[in-house]
Amino acid sequence: MTNNVCIVMTTVAGAEQAKELARAVIEARLAACAQTLPISSCYRWEGKIVEDGEQMILFKTLAAQYSALETFLLDHHPYDTPEIVRLPVDGVSGKYRDWLLREVG
């Protein structure tokens, strides 16, 4: 049953945006946990190479919730073209999985 757990990753410009989006997702019960981390990004955008500080958000959720979470993020994300990436989870502790299932399932 481990394969139904996944991590969904996105980035936003700043800490306040990350906090607001993380809280909104948790309130909607689309993820059990959201962690935010400051990162440095380098990417090509509109023909230019950009280096920016951003905040990464990692959402712990179920694969079955991915479509709903993706739709929510697209509707609430401050970016025109947000990064939304689903990462499979190979293993998770039983108690953590049980908690996640109670919060999201």
How sure is the predictor about 2, in pLDDT bands with cuts at 50, 70 and 90?
A: low
Q: At which residue do the structure tokens 């919060």 appear?
A: 103
In the chain the first and final C-alpha atoms are separated, in Å, by 13
Looking up tokens 């990753």, which residue turns up? Answer: 9
- Chain centroid to CA 62: 12
Q: How many residues comprise the chain?
A: 105
CATH number, span 5-103: 3.30.70.120
What global pTM score does this model have? 0.93
Using one digit for the tens of pLDDT, what is the confidence trace for 33-70?
999 999 999 999 999 999 999 999 999 999 999 999 99
The residue ranges of DSSP E strands in the chain, in sequence order, are 5-12, 33-45, 48-62, 85-88
pLDDT reading at 31 higher than 90: yes
Instruction: Give the integer Cα–Cα distance in Å for 44 and 30.
Output: 30
